[in-house]
Amino acid sequence: MVQGLAVSYVRVEDVERISPRMLRIGFSGDALASLMEDRPDQQMKLCFPRAGQRVPRLPEPDAEDTYGMRWYEAYLAIPEPERPLMRSFTVRSYDPGSGLMAVDFVLHGDDGPATRWARTAGPGDVAGMVGPSSAYARPLPRAGHLLLAGDESALPAIGTILEALPAGARVTVCAEVADAAEEQRFDSAAEVTVCWVHRDRGASLLDAVRSAELPQGDTAGWLAGEAGTVRALRRHLVEERGLPRSAVEFSGYWRRALTQDDAPTEEDLAWAAERAAETP
């Protein structure tokens, strides 16, 4: 396979509600053992069946490319009424012993395709998966102190990062959730300070990061969540806190009032170009 990218099927084995607005679904799949890596923040895409389908229709492999960079062209070639609905996720965990991959689903109020599917998912249900691939992995910036900031969509990645950090690492986490019931417990050998930001109390992630005590000159940032908020956080860290651009890793997981089915805005394209320019 080119660049280690794969398109495969995964099957639901169990479903657990870990908070009022988040489900953890355990998947099995024939390809998982060869795809999962021992690293945090593994990104992939899940494909959900259209109405009337039990199993999503996935792209056919290109004989000359075999799921390299052309998989998306093959995906778009599927007639729209049959084309699976696709969303991006982070692998929360993978257990080599059981062969199960855990993925956390935020139950958004907008009732999008991932939320609709997850709310009724049960053992035996099938989704498609694209990736994950180490070719798209971005290493954490190195520093004596790490800031992790994001909303609930970033909690799975934050959890994997914290679990991977060694003893002695110093971390500040700023996590925005709907209310206190959405807080999670993270395990880590690192020295971790967590600030939970509750929207029902009028708090914001940007204000929490602005108020956070961060060591001068030896801090790096990892930011993820709603794209507009991530942009504002990055500007704050670079322009107001003086962090080098290379010390701030950032990802816009979703866009307010838009979905992954919508065309990127001019700001999205400019941001993507800047991100690509900074990739080593």
What residue ranges define each of the domains in the chain, with the CATH number in brackets? 2-135 (2.40.30.10), 139-277 (3.40.50.80)
- Looking at residue 1, its pLDDT comes to 32
**112 compared with 68, residue with greater pLDDT:** 112
CB 154, CB 225: distance < 8 Å: yes
- Looking at residue 68, its pLDDT comes to 54
pLDDT of 278 above 80: no
pLDDT of 4 above 70: no
pLDDT of 18 above 90: yes
Instruction: Please list, residue by residue across 100-136, b when 16 or more beta carbons sit within 10 angstroms of its beta carbon and e when fewer do.
Output: bbbbbbbbeeeebbbbebbeebeeebbbbbbbbbeee
When the pLDDT of each residue in the chain is averaged and rounded to a whole number, the result is 88
Strand partners, 27: 12, 101
Q: Which of 119, 126, 121 shows the shortest CA–CA distance to 84?
A: 126
pLDDT of 233 above 90: yes
- Looking at residue 3, its pLDDT comes to 45
Phi and psi for 112 in degrees, rounded to 5? Answer: -70, 180
CB 101, CB 26: distance < 8 Å: yes
- Looking at residue 137, its pLDDT comes to 78
Count, in order, helices (H) and strands (E) of the chain: 7, 11
- Looking at residue 72, its pLDDT comes to 85
If you average pLDDT over each of 130-139, 233-242, 249-258, which comes out highest?
Answer: 233-242
Q: Which amino acid is at 176?
A: E
- Looking at residue 216, its pLDDT comes to 83
Question: pLDDT, tens digit, for every residue of 73-113?
Answer: 889 999 999 999 999 999 999 999 999 999 999 997 767 89
Instruction: Please list, residue by residue across 143-182, b when 16 or more beta carbons sit within 10 angstroms of its beta carbon and e when fewer do.
Output: bebbbbbbbbbbbbbbbbbbebbeeebbbbbbbbbbeeeb
- Looking at residue 5, its pLDDT comes to 63
Strand partners, 17: 23
pLDDT of 66 above 80: no
Region 266-274 average pLDDT: 53
Phi-psi map region of 214: left, alpha, beta (phi>0 left; psi -120 to 50 alpha): beta
- Looking at residue 257, its pLDDT comes to 55
- Looking at residue 138, its pLDDT comes to 81
Q: What is the pTM of this model?
A: 0.88
Region 240-256 average pLDDT: 91
pLDDT of 267 above 60: no
Region 118-138 average pLDDT: 90
Surface-to-core class of residue 142, CB atoms within 10 Å of its CB (0-12 exposed, 13-18 middle, 19+ buried): exposed
Question: pLDDT, tens digit, for every residue of 186-221?
Answer: 999 999 999 999 999 999 999 999 999 998 889 999
- Spatial separation of the C-alpha atoms in residues 54 and 206, rounded to whole Å: 42
Q: Which of 152, 153, 131, 147 shows the shortest CA–CA distance to 46?
A: 131
Contacts of 170 (CB under 8 A, 6+ apart): 144, 145, 146, 190, 191
Region 220-228 average pLDDT: 96
pLDDT of 263 above 50: no
- Looking at residue 111, its pLDDT comes to 73
Q: Provide the pairing of β-strand 145-151 with 170-177.
A: parallel
